[in-house]
């Protein structure tokens, strides 16, 4: 076991990156040297509803939670510790998708993915 990495995890000196892709949500924890420490993922798929390719809010949260659990299980298995603090978090989404929200974060419409070829006003 790498004690340097274990200590970075315990001291909250790591960075968590999460990417919501079109077929998988991926997470990676990197250390102070910017090298990957562990990763996790969650497979998901968008739905075709009412002529729109979309994800439901509950699918987004279930996917993020599933990805994070997979990642932290891998960290616990490799380093014998849990993640209690982080130095930073970065989140990205698929290049051609979006979710329109109001100021409180409520969805104004269903999410849109790269698979949609319609234009709505």
- Whether residue 38 lies inside any domain: the answer is yes
* CATH number reported for the structural domain that contains residue 52 in this entry: 3.30.420.40
Q: What is the pLDDT of residue 119?
A: 62
| pTM attached to this predicted model | 0.83
Does residue 100 fall inside a structural domain? no
The whole-number average pLDDT for the span 25-45 is 95
Residue with tokens 């079109």: 22
Inside any domain, residue 75:
yes
Query: What pLDDT was estimated at residue 101?
Result: 86
117 found inside a domain: no
- How many of the other CB atoms lie within 10 Å of CB of 99? 17
86-105 residue pLDDT tens: 999 999 887 677 778 899 98
112 within a domain of the structure (yes/no) = no
Q: Is residue 44 part of a domain?
A: yes
Which pLDDT score, from 0 to 100, does residue 121 have?
54
Give the range of the structural domain holding residue 77, as residue numbers without chain letter.
3-93
Closest CA to 10 of 27, 31, 34, 33: 31
Does residue 8 belong to any structural domain of this protein?
Answer: yes
Domains of the chain: total:
1
The answer to the question of residue 65 being in a domain is yes
- The contacts of residue 58 (CB under 8 Å, 6+ apart) are none
- Calpha distance 94→104 (Å, rounded): 22
User: What value does the CA radius of gyration of the chain take, rounded to a whole number of Å?
Assistant: 17
């Amino acid at each position: 076991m790498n004690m340097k990495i274990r200590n970075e995890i315990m001291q909250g000196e790591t960075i968590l990156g999460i990417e919501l892709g079109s077929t998988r949500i991926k997470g990676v924890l990197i250390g102070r040297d910017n090298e990957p420490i562990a990763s996790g993922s969650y497979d998901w798929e968008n739905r075709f509803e009412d002529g729109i390719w979309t994800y439901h809010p509950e699918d987004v949260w279930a996917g993020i939670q599933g990805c994070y659990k997979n990642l932290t299980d891998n960290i616990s298995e490799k380093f014998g510790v849990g993640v209690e603090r982080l130095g930073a978090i970065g989140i990205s989404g698929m290049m051609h998708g979006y979710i329109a929200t109001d100021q409180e974060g409520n969805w104004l419409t269903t999410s849109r993915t790269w698979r949609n070829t319609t234009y709505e006003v």
